[in-house]
Amino acid sequence: MNLQVLLRQLACIGILFLGSVAAANADWSPEQSELISLSDAWIAAEVGHDKAALERILDERFLATFASSGKTVDRSAYIEWIMQMQIDPFTVVNEVVNIHGNTALVISTEGATKFTWVAVKKGGQWVVISETFSKITETR
């Protein structure tokens, strides 16, 4: 197989892949897409150590719970923890985005970690009020 044929095949595979990703994302409602965008912004703020963005995204009464230790921390402790960590860029797989009026439940995974978080709509904007980190010990 020559290089030109191989490159064409790779380009076709890439187009098919991007099409399948777009089709999967097309299943989200506009409001669910807002929450996925919030998740992406949250990740970017953590990776970039953007304290101001984290303070906008996380409600002033935000709580995070770490399933491995059972420890729960408030927003200021969580942001302080994030600021001290080296976080490499990552992408989550959004499994569930359920909206119940002005409240939303989002469940996503990255590697062996499951993130379960709740957001509420305040003044027309989604803010995160809680997150629980869980370790995935078994694969299906």
pLDDT of residue 77: 98
Q: How many residues in the chain?
A: 140
Q: By C-alpha distance, which of 46, 45, 36 is closest to 96?
A: 36
pLDDT of residue 8: 46
* Sequence letter at residue 99: I
Angle ∠(22,26,11) on CA atoms, nearest 5: 10
Kindly calculate the radius of gyration of the chain based on its CA atoms and give it in whole angstroms: 18
Q: From first to last of its 140 residues, what are the pLDDT tens digits of the chain?
A: 444 433 344 333 333 333 333 334 558 899 999 999 999 999 999 999 999 999 999 999 999 999 889 999 999 999 999 999 999 999 999 999 999 999 999 999 999 999 999 999 999 999 999 999 999 887 65
pTM above 0.85, yes or no: no
pLDDT of residue 11: 38
Dihedral angle over CA of 32, 35, 41, 44, nearest 10 = -80
Q: Which CATH architecture has domain 28-135?
A: Roll (3.10)
CA distance 97 to 101: 13
| DSSP state string for 92-134 | -EEEEEEEETTEEEEEEEETTEEEEEEEEEETTEEEEEEEEEE
Strands 103-110 and 93-100, how do they pair?
A: antiparallel
The residues facing 133 across adjacent strands are 66, 115
